[in-house]
Amino acid sequence: MNVDPASTAVVVVDMQNGFCHPDGSLYAPGSEAAIDPVSALVDRARDASVQVIYTRDVHPPEQFEDAHYYDEFDRWGEHVLEGSWEAEIVDELDVREDDHVVEKHTYDAFQQTEFDGWLSARKITDLVICGTLANVCVLHTAASAGLRDHRPVIVEDAVGYIEEDDRAYALDHADFLFGEVVTSEEIEFEG
Indicate the domain borders of the chain: 2-189
Could you tell me if 131 and 34 are in contact, meaning their C-beta atoms sit under 8 angstroms apart?
yes
Is the CATH number of domain 2-189 3.40.50.850?
yes
Per-residue model confidence as pLDDT tens digits over 14-57: 999 999 999 999 999 999 999 999 999 999 999 999 999 999 99
Per-residue model confidence as pLDDT tens digits over 56-87: 999 998 999 999 999 999 999 999 999 999 99
Q: What is the pTM of this model?
A: 0.96
Q: What are phi and psi of 125, to 5 degrees?
A: -115, -25
Could you tell me if 169 and 30 are in contact, meaning their C-beta atoms sit under 8 angstroms apart?
no
